[in-house]
A = this chain, B = another copy of it.
Amino acid sequence: MARAGLTPDRVRDAAIELVRSVGFEELSLGTLARELGVRVPSLYNHVDNLDTLRAAVSASATNTLDEALAPAQTLEEIAHAYLAFARAEPGLYRASLRAPSVDNIAHEAAALRVLERIESALAEFPLSVDARIDAIRGLRALLHGFVELTLAGAFEMERPVEASFDGMLQNFRLGLERAKPIT
């Protein structure tokens, strides 16, 4: 039997690596156990169940996304960092979308940090309270929607995806500047 020396952290880290290579939806206890050289039920010595393991991976992925956004300042920088992360780490990006459970304080905090970084992209614009909420929701929709369509391979036309992303951001910025609701 030769004990494999697993710990909750090692199992979680292996799960993260698996998600990075095969995707979040594809994470299964079978492949994870094989990767760790152990039988499936042995994982239950270190993990409650698949759902909590997914939650742990999601929390970590949200932190990684937060760190990827950290250096960015302007609207364009933050948006580019967001798209770049999703394209470089689609598995982690998809993992980060899972809503934190209410009892997972650290996960909730990380999700809030990501949200605040996106909100900070709008700091330069003088917006009313309502217009700012609309802008936040609009930016989130834009980023998430563009990423999803990109990952799904839905953009079939010739033009480079990056160019459209930039054009879209320019359009977004123009709309915000034109609005100028605080007078």
Q: Which residues of A approach B to under 8 Å, CB–CB?
A: 97, 99, 130-131, 133-135, 137-138, 140-146, 148-149, 152-155, 157, 159, 161, 163-164, 167-168, 170-176, 178-179
Contact = CB atoms under 8 A, between A and B. Distances in A.
Nearest to A148: B144
B133 A164 contact: yes
Q: Secondary structure at chain A's binding surface: helix, strand, loop or mixed? A: helix
Nearest to A145: B145
A137 B155 contact: yes
A122 to B, nearest CB: 12
The 7 closest A-B pairs by CB, nearest first: A145-B145, A134-B167, A171-B175, A141-B145, A175-B175, A138-B168, A141-B146
Nearest to A159: B133
A143 B152 CA distance: 15
